[in-house]
Structure 1
Amino acid sequence: MEFCSKFAYDYGFSGSDSEDIEEENKITNLKKVRKADTNIISVAFDKLTATSQMFAGEPKKCKNCEAIMTKTSRDNLSADKNIWICEFCFEQNSVKLTNLDEVPNEDDVTFLIEPAPEKPTESKLSNEENTSGDDKYLIYCVDISGSMNTSINRNYYSFRSQAMSRLGAVKIACIENLRTLKTDQPQKRVGFVTFSDEVKYYGDATNSSKPITMCNHNDRYSAGSILSTSNNRANKSFMGNIFSKFKPSQNKPSQNENVQEINNVHANIMDNKEEMLEFSKNQDGDIKPIKKSHSDLERKITNLRTEGSTALGPALTFCIGFLSRLPGSQVILCTDGCANVGMGSVESGQASEQFYEDLAIYAKNKGIVVNVITMESTDCRLALLGKVADLTNGTVNIVNPLNLSEEFKSILQNRLVATDVKAKLIVNNKYLYIRDDDLEIAEAKAYETDDPNAKKELEKLKKSIVEKNIGNANVETEITFEFGVKRLDEDVKKKSTKLDKLPFQLQISYTMPNGAKALRVYTKIQKFTQDRKQAENEIISKELIWANYAQKMSNHISNSSASTAQYRGQQLSSLMSKDEHVPELLKENLKMIKNFSFQTNSSSLNDVQTRDVLKAKKANRKMFL
């Protein structure tokens, strides 16, 4: 937890100042906006990998606000150490300590909530292999539909005689990536899935049998559906072998009970999310480490050919269901077109929006990261597909096919550090409040109408505790909080002196890559000043201001609240007029926000806009250095 400035700006208990908008800085019709300020806190999750004081005892919590006793609490203990007066809500808590050793003596402490579980039984790696590297799953999910045969600019490959197709570029990128993984992460377990009209799961490609194929009943009978209801591994092998032999036009031997089941049961697996998830979870999870499977995978990838349409939704559902057994695993989805077969088809309208939203929530809850890569000059409806990557904290990008290798490498370098991450900020409930999304939306409306009563009603939305559900966090994940000083009643004002310093507490609950659950608690004291210039002259990180505004504006666009995004943009525009060193990346972000109408919603964005908004949502300080 880091503050933007050495001093928080104390507004004298009157709330933030408003300022008139100069004509040259206008991007809205507002006459006034709340002044931008430096009361910003950053949380960078790469810090979770750094060690802190491990505390063996149970965390002692305030019974009212659930703040945890830490180093700053020691000054608020009674002489007999039986009562702790919470420094955040002033609640009197009975603690009955025998000595101070029962209270952490550091401002950064970790509590181990639950030890790491034993390795899952389907991970049939030796003990040596299990402890020598990252054995999480990675699935490449590759579009092999007909459009992937489109030729691309092959100047880079001018020494080749044949034209380079999109699929050809994907093959090269995958093979180069596999070779890197073999060297850098030899225990990584890599699987492979392709999709066209059908979805094919190859596993690690070391098995000589045919891939497991899922398809619509109009094309073939779905062996996958019957496999999903059976735990018999031998029967799975049999069904996989006979699967491709029977088509609706053929005469099926009615005496064969298994074939009859294929004909009658679950023929709609491509349209049934729950059944596809169940089917994928029933697949054998024994995928070999890449150091053992890379040759087979390379051979399989080299022989891929294009065909058919785009069953993207079923393929992604299969991958997420398969990976759900091991949190921290991820899928890299590479496509050049819209989903048009099975569940998630763009032709299904609002149903497709709900499908991807539900799938995103499922993946996030299971600790699965979804990365989405699309091709330049294509329309993939990223407004739909991007939701899954966004909510799971994966990458969304549109790339030149010839740059796919670099994109794959970048994804794998952004290492996952924790899953099931929640970040809770607690501030002093008498003097301070946290500016969350609900408050910002109401504030934008109040300033838009210039209604004094609406502005007074904002007081009811000022919270002293806010929790953000992060889900997956990687080494580049960084979030921000804003806080302000409350307006106080006249009687309270008379008794109050100017703010000098106050504690802030951040609680991060998370699951480590090894499955252990922990709670990390940061408690820091922030000094206050009533001199705005002092706060702004003592800025520790101006990049934090830029990252905060990029996150805030794009977050409101993602939530289809364009008016609030533009309100925040108006604040930024006024701030930028006083600073000549504003990053170009942020200027472009503001320009995009400015061109949206109040009616703009996230589903109406084109692919490039979606990519830029989702990228800005994940802005961190490093992006603006």
Structure 2
Amino acid sequence: MEFACSHVVCGWRPDGTECTGVTVKQQEDVAPPPVPPRHLKKPRAYTSTPPLEPPIIPPPVPPRVDKKEGGSRPAANINVVSLCIGKLVDISQGLDRFQSQVTCGKCSAAFSCLSTMQRNVWVCEFCGRENSVDDGVDDGVDDGVDRACVGQRSGVHSDDIYLQSQSDDDYQNLESTLVVFCVDISGSMSVTTEVASNSGPQTYISRLESIQDALQGALSSLLQQSPHRRVALVTFNNEVAIYGDGTCTPLTLREWALMDYDYIWKQAVAYRVPHCIAETYNSLLQRVRDLSDSGATSLGPAALASVALASRYPGSRVILCTDGKANIGLGKMEETPSLPSSSITYFYQQLAQQASQSGVIISVLTFEGSDCCLANVGRLADVTRGRVNTVHAGTVAAEIQLASMDNVLATAVKATLVAPEGVYFPFEAGSSHTLVKEIGNVTEEVEITVQFAVSPEFVEVFLHRRTLPFQLQLSFKTKDQQKVTRVITERRPVTTSSRVWACSFDVAVLGVHAAHLCASLTIEGRVQEAQRQLRAQQVLLDQISKQRPVQSQESIYSNWMDTMATIYEDISAESLSLSDEAAKVMFQLKRASSVIRKNGTPGIQKKTNGHIG
């Protein structure tokens, strides 16, 4: 866990005002009373000649100093924690490992280095519940609490691994998972683009031809680097053709079948892909070379069939390549009185959730200059932790290569963040002090950020406690289907927003969180709230830069915010809709990760001259 601030800051409110408890509030929020006028003493009556010197006048009253002079309060909530999930699922390091954990019966917090027990009773440090713990002395079984704390019995930080003794699932190596190439072969794929030639004059290549070249290169790379991996091909135009590994007769879905969700799923799940790329390379290569463009765009049914095909192998990937808006079958984008846009959005959300639950990652690649309604289709990649990008004939091969080689480190990942009672999580559903996030599949770059705040009625209580506990419980399945729970627990000191500038800050956490938060709000259609949050985040980074020098690597986060600000300026106040280019940038910002700790950027550039590079 990486925190944006070294301290938990009490007193922040969503409206930007401060609340620091009843007593402190009276001192800080209420203006101090005016200084009474200075009254000079009357001169003494002299019986003799008064002295020639003028009477001594007291010095002027110094100006009233308000307690807020220590600096302005943060413009945005600085209570942010970053979870680099891609690193946390790596359990190859020398961490303490145990077979079981003891958890609180109320808030599910795990017994840790911060916990204390008296007479077999553990009072949970998060919710205060008294938990009776069986010491296991009579039956000779080791105490669960002892097992939980054998590594670190006391301190302010612990990091423990719990391994389930047996797995309910059959052994499966993620090396044998499936990569599904879902390719648009509609009539619009015949559009040509001028490309430079190494020898001779420039030539023209169609979108489909560029995809065919890219797929041949991807198949060759997979054959060399992952010969035991399964690869399948699905194409779509007026109909959906499932070629599988290329060795069997294709399964074709057309007409009424394109509107039946359950039928498509059952048919695709039943279509087996038994062979690996080492056995099917030549067959798939020939299928790719034989593709031709014609017809409409049944994108929705093809995506559904591809996910169903891949769902048999958790950790699989679907790479969707298209250049047009879905106009036939499920997920049809063209609005009609009988098919409102909410139904379209629901289809893609439902499919994304089903893919995530099945352990399938979807990446979406669209061609520059086309209108694919990426704000909807991109949800497939957003929910499943896949890639979203726009390509052209010269870049499609590299993007397909990246998407096909993404290494899935863990599946069925769930993160539970436990905070003390009195802490809540803004912008998250519910008001509990325990936050649960279903993450699904995880690759190396996955990083999520969470914002938390202190309820006003708990401010004084927390200030007296001086420190607060936080715990992350990360459950997941490894590549060999081993079920693991990693529990990280630590304490953080407490301060008020008026004293926050004496703390230390992690600009990387704040920058990534600003990108995640504003992009998420925008994709949800809450553009005005996203704009408000962006302004607050920009002011916050400016405030921090005045407190300490900004490192050169930290400027990337300001560039991200400038990019979003420019996009917001272009959004119509009436429609609040996103162009494909703007949607691409927002989806990329949602999966942005720290450039300072990873020495890389997410490939997002600042928007200039009306375009985003």
Aligned 8 A contact 2:6 2:503 in 1: no
Aligned 8 A contact 1:13 1:486 in 2: no
Equivalent residue letter for 1:568: Q
Bigger shift: residues 35-44 or 158-167? 158-167
Report the equivalent of 2:424: 433
CA distance in 1 between partners of 2:201 and 2:244 (Å): 31
Bigger shift: residues 178-187 or 410-419? 410-419
- For residue 413 of structure 1, report the CA deviation from its aligned partner: 4.2
Q: Deviations over 1:422-471 (max 9, x none)?
A: 211111114x3333335xxxxxxxxxxxxxxxxxxxxxx75311112222
CA distance in 1 between partners of 2:572 and 2:468 (Å): 41
Report the equivalent of 1:255: none
Equivalent residue letter for 2:81: I
User: Larger Rg: 1 or 2?
Assistant: 2
Report the equivalent of 2:3: 3
2:475 pairs, out of 499, 509, 513, with 509
Change (3 A) 1:367 1:583: same
In the TM superposition, what are the counterparts of 1:345-424 in structure 2 within 5 Å? 345-347=332-334, 348-350=339-341, 351-424=343-416
Aligned 8 A contact 1:360 1:387 in 2: yes
2:231 paired with 1:195:
no
2:44 paired with 1:44:
no
- For residue 483 of structure 1, report the CA deviation from its aligned partner: 2.2
- For residue 142 of structure 1, report the CA deviation from its aligned partner: 0.8
Change (3 A) 1:303 1:543: same
Give SS of 2:162's match: strand
Report the equivalent of 1:308: 295
For structure 1, which runs of at least 5 residues remain unmatched after alignment? 20-31, 121-129, 217-267, 439-460
CA distance in 2 between partners of 1:161 and 1:584 (Å): 36
Report the equivalent of 2:129: 91
2:20 paired with 1:14:
yes
CA distance in 2 between partners of 1:8 and 1:536 (Å): 12
CA distance in 1 between partners of 2:109 and 2:290 (Å): 58
Give SS of 1:345's match: coil
- For residue 511 of structure 1, report the CA deviation from its aligned partner: 2.6
Change (3 A) 1:203 1:537: same
CA distance in 2 between partners of 1:210 and 1:362 (Å): 27
- For residue 200 of structure 1, report the CA deviation from its aligned partner: 1.4
Report the equivalent of 2:32: none
Change (3 A) 1:597 1:311: closer
- For residue 198 of structure 1, report the CA deviation from its aligned partner: 2.0
Report the equivalent of 2:160: 109
Report the equivalent of 1:500: 466
Report the equivalent of 2:516: 551
1:611 pairs, out of 578, 584, 591, with 584
Change (3 A) 1:89 1:547: same
Report the equivalent of 1:524: 490
Equivalent residue letter for 1:144: I
With the length of structure 2 as denominator, give the TM-score of the two structures. 0.77
Change (3 A) 1:589 1:413: farther
Change (3 A) 1:290 1:409: same
Aligned 8 A contact 2:317 2:404 in 1: no
Change (3 A) 1:479 1:138: same
Give SS of 2:294's match: coil
Report the equivalent of 1:587: 562
Q: Deviations over 1:157-216 (max 9, x none)?
A: 6658863111111111111111111222221110111111122122212x2x54222222
Change (3 A) 1:411 1:559: same
Bigger shift: residues 416-425 or 575-584? 575-584
Report the equivalent of 1:471: 440
For structure 2, which runs of at least 5 residues remain unmatched after alignment? 12-17, 30-71, 138-142, 153-157, 603-613
Tell me the matched-pair count: 516
Give SS of 1:5's match: coil
Change (3 A) 1:462 1:162: closer
Aligned 8 A contact 2:100 2:148 in 1: no
Aligned 8 A contact 2:179 2:404 in 1: no
Give SS of 2:409's match: strand
CA distance in 1 between partners of 2:391 and 2:316 (Å): 23
In the TM superposition, what are the counterparts of 1:25-424 in structure 2 within 5 Å? 35-47=75-87, 48-51=89-92, 53=95, 55-73=97-115, 76-78=116-118, 80=119, 82-97=120-135, 98=137, 101-104=146-149, 105-106=151-152, 107-113=158-164, 115-116=166-167, 119=170, 134-156=175-197, 159=200, 163-205=204-246, 207=247, 210-216=249-255, 268-286=256-274, 288-347=275-334, 348-350=339-341, 351-424=343-416
Aligned 8 A contact 2:234 2:302 in 1: yes
Change (3 A) 1:77 1:67: same
Report the equivalent of 1:238: none
Change (3 A) 1:497 1:400: closer
- For residue 108 of structure 1, report the CA deviation from its aligned partner: 1.5
- For residue 63 of structure 1, report the CA deviation from its aligned partner: 1.1
- For residue 624 of structure 1, report the CA deviation from its aligned partner: 5.8
Aligned 8 A contact 2:571 2:578 in 1: no
Change (3 A) 1:620 1:599: farther
Aligned 8 A contact 1:10 1:499 in 2: no
Equivalent residue letter for 2:315: G
CA distance in 2 between partners of 1:118 and 1:366 (Å): 13
Give SS of 1:110's match: strand
- For residue 58 of structure 1, report the CA deviation from its aligned partner: 2.5
CA distance in 2 between partners of 1:110 and 1:375 (Å): 44
Change (3 A) 1:576 1:116: same
Aligned 8 A contact 1:10 1:530 in 2: yes
- For residue 349 of structure 1, report the CA deviation from its aligned partner: 4.0
Change (3 A) 1:349 1:531: closer
Q: What's the % identity of the aligned pairs?
A: 27
- For residue 497 of structure 1, report the CA deviation from its aligned partner: 5.3
With the length of structure 1 as denominator, give the TM-score of the two structures. 0.76
CA distance in 2 between partners of 1:552 and 1:202 (Å): 40
